[in-house]
Amino acid sequence: MKEYFVGLPHPIFIVLVITVLIALVIIAIKGRITAKFGNKTFNIGGGIDDEDYEENKLPSTVILSQKRSCGDCVLLLMGEREKLEFKVRSKINKVMKTQMTFVEQKLIEIQTTLLNAVSKKIVKESTIDESVHYKLIYGLFKDSLHNIKDEIRRSFKDNGFWDMDVSNFSNYLKDRTLVLNSMFIQYVQNMYPDRGGVMETDTLIEIIESKSALLTSLIHDLYMYSRDVKIETDKEVREAQRVFTEWIDKFIN
């Protein structure tokens, strides 16, 4: 029940808290609340009868004090709820930033690895200026990996691989590796200029494919890390909600 209470949307949470506290104020002042349904009457709370109320009613100063206390309760509950929501939002918003920072690091590793391998071939294969040829391939790889980065970000948003078991996650990694490698090679084939003086497209593709084992390892690393980040953040969110639930329990009691 408390978990349901914690998970209520903020506006509903506020209305519920205010309603409960108003009821408590009425009970504290009047001693009970009378509700009628058809011919039946229900009394909520104990206390003195109406005819004895004038004689035994609380002083006005006490009543005002009780009203102020309930107002403080509302503010306190709202304040603690706002703290929880801010904490949860901060943790959730930080997930994608942390994941993509790691992705960028891994993509730079991929780019550096491929460029190092290509640079050794440029001297042998190129009849144009080596620096021009290198910059051409550098720009090609950079643009291709930018597309890969967008695809990885999309997969983080759309695919629920966070809670997959070991077997399903392993299959997911194989699929992701195949897709990303294919995207990279397809982009290079489509955008690399087919002209004299530069390395042949087939030679460039062979260099990329020769590094497939390393590329696969790096892709696995970035997905495994990102999965761990999401799982750990979910644990932190649940713990924050648990602490808030316990606080509500102590507050009410």
pLDDT tens-digit readout, 23-41: 554 544 444 555 544 555 5
pLDDT of 55 reads 46
For strands 40-44 and 33-37, give the pairing.
antiparallel
User: Which of 253, 249, 180 is closest to 219 using CA atoms?
Assistant: 180
Residue closest to 79 by CA, chosen among 172, 17, 149: 17
Q: Tokens standing for 154?
A: 């999309």
In this structure, what token pair is assigned to residue 26?
Answer: 């009425």
Residue 54: predicted pLDDT = 46
Question: How many whole angstroms separate alpha carbon 119 and alpha carbon 131?
Answer: 10
pLDDT for 109 equals 92
Cα 44 from Cα 27, distance rounded (Å): 8
Rg of the Cα trace of the chain?
33
Rounded (10°) angle between helices 60-125 and 212-252: 180
Q: What is the pLDDT of residue 66?
A: 44
Q: Output the pLDDT for position 167.
A: 93
pLDDT tens digits along 122-146: 766 555 677 888 888 999 999 999 9
Q: With 0.75 as the threshold, say if the pTM is over it.
A: no
What's the whole-number average pLDDT of the chain? 76
Q: Tell me what pLDDT residue 58 has.
A: 44
Q: What is the pLDDT of residue 88?
A: 83
Distances from the Cα of 163 to the Cα of 11, 216, 227, 228, angstroms: 31, 22, 8, 10
pLDDT at 177: 93
Domain ranges (residues) in the chain: 2-87, 92-244
Amino acid 34: pLDDT: 55
Helix (H) or strand (E) holding 1: none
Query: Which parts of the chain have pLDDT scores under 70?
Result: 1-72, 74, 123-128, 159, 253
Helices (H), the chain: 2-6, 10-30, 53-56, 60-125, 130-158, 166-191, 201-210, 212-252
pLDDT score for 229: 92
